[in-house]
Structure formats: C-alpha cells, structure tokens
Chain A
C-alpha cells in the first residue's frame, strides 16, 4: 500500500516510492531518501509533529508537511 510518510505510525517500516513536491524532492534525495530505500519511523514528537525517521543509515527529523511529500510503499 502506498501512503504519505507522515501517516505511518511509530516503528512502522516502508520503502521510499516517490515524491509529490519537486523542489523538496531534490534535497530529500541528496540526503538519502532514494526511491527503493528502506525507511522506518523511529520517533514522533510529543505533539505529533515533527517526526524522526531512520533512513540511509542515520536519523533525520522532518516536519509532517515535509514528510507527507514522500510517498512510501508499506
């Protein structure tokens, strides 16, 4: 099933599929969000936003609006 990264619950794993924001997608790819890459939600901030994901061998935090530009296959 494909859905935006922001909709995954804590601990859920998936695979990067595509992006829906062209501008942001370049930065995301540069930082290791490559299509096909394994991804896991490792933390969600107390107020539900931002979230921290484990991808490409490290942990990155992003705001929900940014996370939702990443479509994940899970």
Chain B
C-alpha cells in the first residue's frame, strides 16, 4: 500500500483487504449467526459499497490517478517498514488475556500506524480518505483479534458511521475540486494560528 503509485490499485487493494477480513470473520464465526451476519455486513459495506463509491468518485473527478506524496517511494517503504516493526513491537503489549487471535493484534496495530502514515504523507484528499479507511480496518481487525467481535448492532453502527463519513468526504472532495480546481490538501492553507 505504501509503495503503490496508482489510486486504482490502492482501491482494489482495499477491497481485497476487506474480503480477507470478512473471510476471517467467517472463519472465527464457528457457525455462530452473529459473526456470519457481521462478516456479511462487512463484505457488503466495505468490500463492495465503499470501493464502488470510490471508483465512481475518481471517474467523475477527472483527475490523474497518481498518488502524490511528500515522500519518495523508497523513503515511504522504509518508513512503512519501520512503522510495521514498531507495530509488532508495541502490539505485543496490547495482547490481552483471553484474546481470541493474539497473532493478529500486532498486525492490527501495524495497520493502524500505516494508515496514519498514509494520511499525513499523501497530498490528495482521496488518498487521505484511503488512509483513514485502512486505519479503520486496523481497528476492526483489533476488535476481531481481542474479543469475539463487538456486539452485532454496535458493529453495524460503526460500519454505517464509516460509510457516512466516506460519502461526506466524497461530497467535500467534489466541492474542493470545484472551488480550488485541485484536490491537493497541501495547498489548502488559508487558516492558521
């Protein structure tokens, strides 16, 4: 994710990540209805709806599909690797007693950190949204790994909040494009102090 230059590839990667997360939820479900429903909801909202919405957004914006970064790709990869390492290191102290899938906890923490790196180091507004979504997936993975998953109606509420946030961000990106003729957040710096 940190090394990719094409936005389309990133969105496909995000969709794939969600399909895998959904499958993980199914595996962990052990036939319990609650998890199967949560997994299905996840697949539908995050694996299908959000990626489709993002593709449509990119198409209608008519901007280059290239990821622009403050950092060069090698530096990004290096930093990403470092953060993943930090995630694994710190993640161990996050493993709680009775965690369902202790191995996944450091992965989740690493994903959260990488999402943050992505948000702060990329210029385009769309890529910041992708960073946020990666972070959100990390949080979801953490919930799967530490507990039996949050209660179903909470899980669905959280996913709906994420979906609403992405739609709202999409509308804002359109307006940003109309107003500034670009979606480079680095060049939005009217407000200070």
Binding partners A and B: no
